[in-house]
Chains A and B, each alone.
Chain A
Amino acid sequence: MKKGNSKKSPEDRHPLLDQLGQLWRNKTSVVGLIVVAGFVLAAIFAPSLSPHDPVEISLYDQLKPPAWKDGGSDKNILGTDDLGRDIFSRIIYGARVSLTVAVVSVGLAFVLGTLLGSISGYYKGALDSVIMRIMDIILAFPYLLLAIVVVAFLGPSLQNAMIAIGITYVPRFARIVRGSVLEECEKDYVMAAKAVGASDRRIIFIAILPNCLGPLIVLTTLSFASAILDAAALSFLGLGAQPPTPEWGAMIASSRSLILRASWVMTFPGIAILFAVLGFNLLGDGLRDALDPRLRD
């Protein structure tokens, strides 16, 4: 059918690629992509980008204001905190922490949610009811409360915060995957796969799930945004990253007592959170418009 040296015809391309191509036509998603890429690069190259060691205490440089203010110097562009640590460097390293938390917690939710959702949607019946009721119970806790409680019992640490956030995000993945799987199961190709004797595992993972990728990609991107926000909130409450880890939420928490003397200590980590979350939200919205018009609210 295909000639060896001819160009690929448009039909040979995966439809997902076509849809992703639309991303470029959407200005907001391009902005989102650029912001996200910026944070990812900052996280990867943190050691070479940051001018100082993020946890190095320098008692001579306590509470230096940002460079453009009186008393500020180019040595610490965004100033220093109460222990003389360079805020700019801490924010760059903070990108590492926040992105790691987002990837791990959303990854956990993705794997568990996809697994439970596809089992639910594929086998239906009692198993489906049980799984979805458990998801309903998790959803019965208001946002952040379950995460706070889980960390309260497991003990405050970044690792437990990731687990807690991951658990609270499982239902949204399970629900969306279940819906897609239910829909796909009605289609002929699934029946064909069953007819040729493919195993359930093969049908679910090789045949069905790739067709549910669109909504999953969108949900994952948007979940990155909320995971960064939630992780920062947990760290702000003292339940996530512990000192001296350069984490944005924890940085804001430790600056609370300095609000009268040194507002910059608090300002910049907040802006970092806002932009990182905004980036993922913009990208997620763009992806949604491109991949899954049904999800548009």
Chain B
Amino acid sequence: MLAYIIRRILILIPTLLGVSVIVFLMLRLTPGDPAELLLGERATEKALHEIREHLGLNEPLHVQYGMFLKRLMKGDLGETIWSRQKVWIEVKERFPATIELSVAALFISCFFGVIFGIISATRQYSIFDYLSMLGALIGVSMPIFWLGLVFMLIFSVNLGWLPLSGRLSIGVDLEVITNFYILDAVLTKNWVALKDVLWHIIMPAVTLSTIPMAIVARMTRSSMLEVLRQDYIKTAKAKGLSQFIVTFKHALRNALIPVVTTIGLQFGVALGGAILTETIFAWPGVGKWMFDAVMRRDYMVIQGGTLVIAAVFVVINLMVDVLYAVINPRISV
């Protein structure tokens, strides 16, 4: 098992290097002077000269890439054009918001996705099965940026139940420790803030959970159907075990193995979808930050944000693979 994990971590390195090469080349292959792209049109000659020196823009490409990697190792992702802030500091500030939103969305999608999948599988071809699978099909076909706006229209504008956007109401105090607001509110026992934070996260999280939920439900259903057909389930039933025990204790365990991989992949969907969701709901995470950067042509931010998001995604995929090997003893390579 350890050997497997080590091998997987070793494969990670070339992938991450590849990601860095792509991100590195993007700026260099974009038409125009990279220094000007990075600093914006109003940059002074002196500043341009400085950044050319700093990034080695006059050097050959491979030397530039070497310098780029060296800075990366030191955690130097450059400065933003807009706020002249270190990119790395902004990433650290904003990533918790994105993770909080993605985890909430994944939690919703796993919970409902698995439940719908199980019921569909145990009652195959029932009306519930048809409806939930139709729902799942609609879910995977949903433009979530539109769904988010529809939710806003219904639940904020018309019904007034949920806040329109943002992460915390103005006037609600919350001592920020980890930048994960739900965690912070619990840690400081600030229940007013906790309610407010939860109220804010519901709509964006549900929006973001749509596609993963549909995929998880379909996956759970088909995986469950396959397991339920197997002999040991028949044996369990023949022994006189209740339907409940057979479904949840015997079948679900094996059925969930492929679902875990699917859920892991959904993290990528959620991270990508976060750009759309955060933009709609003005959620102050990396997604919205990246979008703003694209609009302002702040290439340092785009570069840094892409690198960090891709790295997080790659690491999560690795963890999923390892988890998969742990829960599935059949893969003991």
Contacts and interface: CB of A to CB of B under 8 A. Distances in A.
B302 A238 contact: no
A282 interface: yes
Interface string A41-60: 00000000000000000000
Interface string A261-297: 0010011011001100110011001000000000011
B83 interface: no
Contacts of B145: 232-233, 236, 249, 252
Contacts of B257: none
Contact of A144 (B19, B21, B272, B293): B272
A233 B143 contact: yes
Nearest to B152: A259
A271 B150 CA distance: 11
B63 to A, nearest CB: 22
B146 A152 contact: no
Interface in A208-254: 225, 229, 232-233, 236-239, 249, 252
Contacts of A260: 157
Contacts of B143: 229, 232-233, 236, 249, 252, 270, 273-274, 277
B306 A149 contact: yes
A142 B141 contact: no
A280 to B, nearest CB: 8
A233 B143 CA distance: 7
Interface stretch (A16-24, A75-83, A131-139): A131-139
Interface string A9-28: 00000000000000000000
A57 B27 CA distance: 39
B141 A145 contact: no
B295 interface: yes
Contact of B314 (A140, A238, A266, A296): A140
A140 B313 contact: yes
Contacts of B309: 141-142, 145
A65 to B, nearest CB: 15
B142 to A, nearest CB: 6
User: SS class of chain A's interface: helix, strand, loop or mixed?
Assistant: helix
B146 A143 contact: no
Contacts of A137: 15, 18-19, 21-22
Contacts of B22: 137-138
Nearest to A269: B146
Contacts of A274: 138, 141-143, 146
A278 B138 contact: yes
Contacts of B168: none
B268 A270 contact: no
A228 to B, nearest CB: 9
Nearest to B223: A297
User: Chain B interface residue count: which class?
Assistant: 35 or more
Nearest to B219: A297
B131 to A, nearest CB: 13
A237 B310 contact: no
B26 A153 contact: yes
Contacts, number: 135
Contact of B273 (A133, A143, A273, A277): A143
Nearest to A150: B26
B279 interface: yes
Contacts of A150: 26
A154 interface: yes
Nearest to B143: A273
A295 to B, nearest CB: 11
Interface in A179-212: none
Given A133-B18, A225-B141, A144 B222 contact: no
B141 A229 contact: yes
A124 interface: no
Nearest to A156: B294
Contacts of A252: 143, 145-146, 149
Given A252-B149, A297-B222, A145 B275 contact: yes
Interface of B: 14-16, 18-19, 21-23, 26-27, 29-30, 137-138, 140-143, 145-147, 149-150, 152-153, 157, 218-219, 222, 267-269, 271-273, 275-276, 279, 290-291, 293-295, 297, 299, 302, 306, 309-310, 313-314, 317
Given A148-B294, A267-B150, 9 more contacts: A133-B15, A133-B18, A136-B15, A142-B268, A143-B272, A145-B290, A236-B143, A266-B149, A274-B142
Interface of A: 133-134, 136-138, 140-145, 148-154, 225, 229, 232-233, 236-239, 249, 252, 256, 259-260, 263, 266-267, 269-270, 273-274, 277-278, 281-282, 285, 296-297
29 contacts: A136-B18, A137-B18, A138-B22, A140-B313, A141-B19, A141-B306, A141-B313, A142-B309, A142-B310, A143-B268, A144-B272, A148-B294, A152-B293, A233-B143, A236-B146, A237-B294, A249-B143, A252-B149, A259-B152, A259-B153, A263-B153, A267-B150, A270-B143, A270-B150, A273-B143, A274-B142, A274-B146, A278-B141, A281-B137
